[in-house]
Structure 1
Amino acid sequence: MTLADWTPLTFEPAPVLEGTATRLERLSGDHADALDAANRADDAMWAYLPYGPFADREAYRDWVAEAAASSDPIFYAIRGEDGWAGVASYLRVDRANGVIEIGHIAMSAALQRTRAATEAIHLMIAQAFAAGFRRVEWKCDAANGPSLAAARRYGFGYDGTFRQHMVVKGRNRDTAWFAILDGDWPRLCKVHRAWLDADNFDAAGRQARSLSVMVAEAAGATVA
Structure 2
Amino acid sequence: MTGSVNEYLQPIGDAMPDWQARPLPQRVVLEGKYCRLEPLDPEAHTKSLLKAWGKAQDGRDWTYLGIGPFASEAQFAEHIVTTAASSDPLHYTIIDNATGHALGTIALMRIDPTNGVMEVGFVTFSPELKRTVQATEAHYLLMKYAFDELGYRRYEWKCDSLNAPSRSAALRLGFRFEGVFRQLLIYKGRTRDTAWFSIIDGEWPLVKEAFEAWLSDANLPAGKQQRTLSSLREELAAQIPRDLL
Task: Please indicate, yes or no, whether the TM-score normalized by the shorter chain is above 0.5.
Answer: yes
Equivalent of residue 74 in structure 1, options 51, 75, 90? 90
Equivalent of residue 50 in structure 2, options 15, 33, 36? 36
| In structure 2, distance between residues paired with 1:71 and 1:138 | 18
User: 1:113: how far off?
Assistant: 0.6
| In structure 2, distance between residues paired with 1:179 and 1:216 | 17
Higher alpha-carbon Rg: 2
Structure 1: gaps of 5 or more residues = none
Partner in structure 1 of residue 29 of structure 2? 16
User: 1:9: how far off?
Assistant: 1.3
Q: What is the 5 A alignment of 1:101-140? A: 101-130=119-148, 131-140=150-159
Alignment coverage as a number of residue pairs? 220
Runs of 4 or more above 6 Å deviation: none
Equivalent of residue 93 in structure 1, options 90, 95, 111? 111
| In structure 2, distance between residues paired with 1:36 and 1:49 | 18
Q: In the alignment, is the contact (CA less than 8 A) between 1:154 and 1:215 conserved in 2? A: no
Q: What is the 5 A alignment of 1:56-67? A: 56-67=72-83
The TM-score, its normalising length taken from structure 2, stands at 0.86
What SS class does the counterpart of residue 129 from structure 2 fall into?
coil
Q: In the alignment, is the contact (CA less than 8 A) between 2:24 and 2:111 conserved in 1? A: no
| In structure 1, distance between residues paired with 2:25 and 2:187 | 30
> Which of 212-221 and 142-151 deviates more?
212-221
The TM-score, its normalising length taken from structure 1, stands at 0.94
> Which of 55-64 and 89-98 deviates more?
55-64
Q: In the alignment, is the contact (CA less than 8 A) between 2:111 and 2:119 conserved in 1? A: yes
Q: In the alignment, is the contact (CA less than 8 A) between 1:153 and 1:215 conserved in 2? A: no
Which amino acid is 1:52 matched to? G
User: 1:14: how far off?
Assistant: 4.7
Q: RMSD of the alignment, in Å?
A: 1.4
Identity of aligned residues (%): 42
1:46 aligns with 2:62: yes
Which amino acid is 2:78 matched to? D
